[in-house]
Structure 1
């Protein structure tokens, strides 16, 4: 299959950055054939990466719940979640093809962010597989929102050698189209465009009996045209990741990018729960709250503390920061942990000497005075848990039989416990947690669970104990990023960077080192102070270079010269 960019990419000898990017984003459904030549400030690099990662995680959770991405119901569900997460630019791209200023801004964000994530996801086979799967889901979601005219525009924009059947050609195969397109009404079929392609290009449609076959050709509706190019698009993604892998060492010479890219997949992209914003929570209410509003990981921590009166360092960090995030004050936190530990084997003077300092440290009152962030789901899931540890994600670390027994003891029926265990068996721990929330509260969730403090906040809102937060109003600090590193005036594509956590979730390195030294009896080592883990402001990133010389040369092709995407090999 060949695509050409014709005059859209015909540039003068003096390179024009704006014209190059405009030529690449001619349609809301992008094929990412050529890398963009843009300059980005490093904070914009991070913002765009996090924004796209949010989208891909929404798709991952939807797929885990068996949501059919191409169906009207599935599309509506996913787009609602995108809008709820302030990802209106991507929701717009998945709602047909238009050429407004908002669409152009959304395309810029989409195109540049795709190539940023290639650098983050090219480093291992597992990451590449995850990225390609998610990007193909996004591709299908975008395509499912196209009208017949949008599909025709897509074919024209990428100069594909496909044309809709003429009236005479349709008449010859009309009965076959009716018989093979039973999921559509006759009136719908009569108004749809169909394309004649080799049947080997759409084997998935052949298997699903979603096309008419005649003499080695398949007759494919505009709605199913995504299958015609889907396989080739996937090949291009896989080849592009391999090419980026070869470029990665050069980019990672800069430690800022190395740290940012390595931590991206496990980074938290939601609301910042470092400081409680909904008042104080008295420790006297924790027993009651743990039964209804705590996620399973924190209920596990609470029950363990109440029964054993002790936690190892990992448990104290996981649970202590969660309590801080829901509104437990420093004074109450000290009292809570003091009462529990001194009921066990820890003497009062030992608690004050060995443990109180660390609690004050969590609240930013000791050491480097960093106000530590409560752990996200991903951080908890990825944490190492030893046999004597009391932290971690129970959906991941508990044996399935133990999990189902525990869920039953918490009042869940056998069918629901089995359903949750089914998600766990497939590695969908956050989906299992979301289902646990829905069953426990008897209410559906409009968003997936990504943070224990999010779980608590949503629970309190559902129970009427807290008011739902108002949607943030646009402010100058939340302007969307344009492709040239400047701010756009389009409010609809804004990303709330104030509600995102830094990519580097290593704020607690100092405290971990202190505790490891204390437990091992070693002398403390000096720890480099950090300034809240954020990358430096306004550090310019050099233009993202083309993948190879052949790709760079493609920017100077003449009007009617085609290029074969299969030739995009690295030199």
Structure 2
């Protein structure tokens, strides 16, 4: 409790010193925050930001059109559900100056720079981070009032000057005809800006701007497109720069966090203690795997049954998964022993493989009760030749994936949708679509964890069972 009080006081002092940084709900993050924060707050802000960006990523994949009211409401609901109220505060468009408002902007600002350190390290990470930050930027910009937008332009020294009233009146007909949804009343009450058409290519492409002599005329609400282009260029350059400087960070306390943050699972922890103490019906395990296992785990189960062996990383991924669904330690030892001793004797099994099972269940070593791997950790794993772990949607060739989906009875339309999602690198959404195809109805949430898939599948089976 004392630590929290001290942290709140520290936050307040920092805000007073750097008030000029946290003066608007929307930011281009041009000024590096020069302050000291505790290691625990550093980690807390990083995880909160990561969860925010993942919520934004998944919102549009749940069905709502991106930037629609339904999409915005979905994000708000998920933020509230995950106790991220500070980010919801930035979506109110109020531009408040209370302590809570400033604290929310401070958390947003600092957490952005923390994640730059994590997501600068590869092209794939930079691309993901850049896209999510652009979506977060636009989401906040959309709720700003005209007065707040003008304040933002002034604070960031962006010289976008509206055309004169007489010029607007001369081209009113053209503006109304060229911009979808533009009416006489809206045209009269809106400010329009003359910008080089090259800055608003997306608007030109979608025929949402009036073009004349190399310039595009756009309403204030579409200025975000111009500003986003600048933000993208600036952030992209910054990420490349930080990537070159990152090796200079010599702090063991931060290294592990920064290098592994993108693998951090931010959802439910499917730990061993939370499961049924009676274990799983191992006599029916093959049938359970067919009905309730995600594709990655079903493949590992069937490979084990066929080859009577799995390599180390496959055993680890699959072993922790079945532990998480409720397979007790004694059941796990018997399960692995029965399978492996089909190609080796018990002595070799005990000598070479039993320790790994004991280690997974926290019986030896540091006595750690390891949790099952999340989707993001599985996706980011390296998979070598002859290995069967990893994510099928990420690591399998499209032709192999298509063949397996057909084999498992996924309709051709569903197969095409899954392959398309995989091509767009939406691996977890592809898994969610697979769930829908297998079960005939969608999952309640985007699949983020193999054990979540199992839980949703078994819950669905319980609901569909006839009442006695």
TM range (shorter): 0.7 to 0.9
Paired position in structure 2 for 1:435: 433
Deviation digits for residues 524-562 of structure 1 (CA, Å, limit 9, x no counterpart): xxxxxxxxxxxxxxxxxxxxxxxxxxxxxxxxxxxxxxx
Provide the secondary structure at the position in 2 that maps to 1:195: strand
Work out the CA distance in 2 between the residues paired with 1:324 and 1:422: 33
Q: How far apart in 1 are the matches of 2:460 and 2:141?
A: 35
Contact 1:20 1:37 in 2 (8 A): no
Contact 1:165 1:194 (8 Å CA) reproduced: yes
Q: Which deviations, in whole Å up to 9, do the C-alpha atoms of 1:158-205 show, x marking residues without a partner?
A: 344345556544433321221122234554444433333344433332
The structure that is helix-richer by fraction is 2
Following the alignment from structure 1 to structure 2, what is the Cα–Cα distance between the partners of residues 459 and 88?
31
Please state how far the C-alpha of 1:246 moved relative to its aligned partner. Answer: 5.1
Structure-1 separation of matches of 2:17 and 2:161: 28
Counterparts of 1:215 and 1:390, CA distance in 2 = 59
Write the deviation string for residues 235-265 of structure 1: whole angstroms up to 9, x where unpaired. 22133334434542332x1122222212223
- Alignment partners' CA distance in 2, 1:84 and 1:184: 37
Q: Which residue of 1 aligns with 2:43?
A: 46
Structure 2: where are the runs of 5+ without partners?
A: 1-12
Aligned-partner SS, 1:219: strand
SS in 1 for 2:390: coil
Q: Deviations over 1:438-476 (max 9, x none)?
A: 22233334532222112222323344469xxxxxxxxxx
Q: Distance in 2 between matches of 1:390 and 1:249?
A: 33
Q: How does 1:262-273 map onto structure 2 within 5 Å?
A: 262-273=259-270
Shift of residue 351 of structure 1?
A: 2.9
Question: Equivalent residues in 2 for 1:288-307 (5 A)?
Answer: 288-307=287-306
Report the secondary structure of 1:24's partner residue.
coil
Equivalent residues in 2 for 1:304-319, closer than 5 Å = 304-319=303-318
Q: Which residue of 2 aligns with 1:155?
A: 153
Q: How does 1:205-244 map to 2 (within 5 A)?
A: 205-214=203-212, 216-244=214-242
What is the aligned length? 449
Alignment of 1:343-354 (within 5 A): 344-354=342-352
Deviations for 1:74-124, whole angstroms, at most 9, x for unmatched residues? 333444444444433334324434314443222111100111112223334
CA contact (8 A) 2:15 2:106 kept: no
Distance 2:386 2:318 in 1: 16
- Equivalent residue for 2:6? none
Structure 1: distance between partners of 2:35 and 2:28: 18
Contact 2:86–2:104, Cα closer than 8 Å, also in 1: yes
**Larger displacement relative to structure 2 (33-42 or 182-191):** 182-191
Matches within 5 A, 1:239-258: 239-245=237-243, 247-251=245-249, 253-258=250-255
- Cα distance between partner residues in 2 of 1:374 and 1:397: 19
TM-score (norm 2): 0.86
Aligned residue in 2 for 1:404: 402
Q: Measure, in 2, the Cα distance between the counterparts of 1:168 and 1:365.
A: 80
Q: Deviations over 1:475-525 (max 9, x none)?
A: xxxxxxxxxxxxxxxxxxxxxxxxxxxxxxxxxxxxxxxxxxxxxxxxxxx
Q: How does 1:511-550 map to 2 (within 5 A)?
A: none
How does the TM-score come out when normalised to structure 1? 0.71
Does the C-alpha gap of structure 1 residues 299 and 49 become closer, same or farther in structure 2, counting only changes over 3 Å? same
Partner residue, 1:363: 361
- Cα separation, 2, equivalents of 1:177 and 1:186: 10
Q: Say if 1:69 and 1:137, in contact at 8 Å, map to a contact too.
A: no
Question: 2-side partners of 1:23 and 1:446: how far apart?
Answer: 42
2:324–2:451 CA contact under 8 A, matched in 1:
yes
Name the CA distance, whole Å, in 2 between partners of 1:235 and 1:224.
18
Which residue of 1 is the match for residue 327 of structure 2? 328
What residue is the counterpart of 1:133 in the other structure?
A: 131
Partners of 1:275 and 1:184 in 2: how far apart? 58
Structure 2 equivalent of residue 560 of structure 1: none
Q: Which has the higher contact order (CA 8 A, sep 6+)?
A: 1
RMSD of aligned alpha carbons: 2.8
Equivalent residue in structure 2 for 1:87, among 68, 84, 87? 84
Deviation at 1:67, TM superposition (A): 6.5
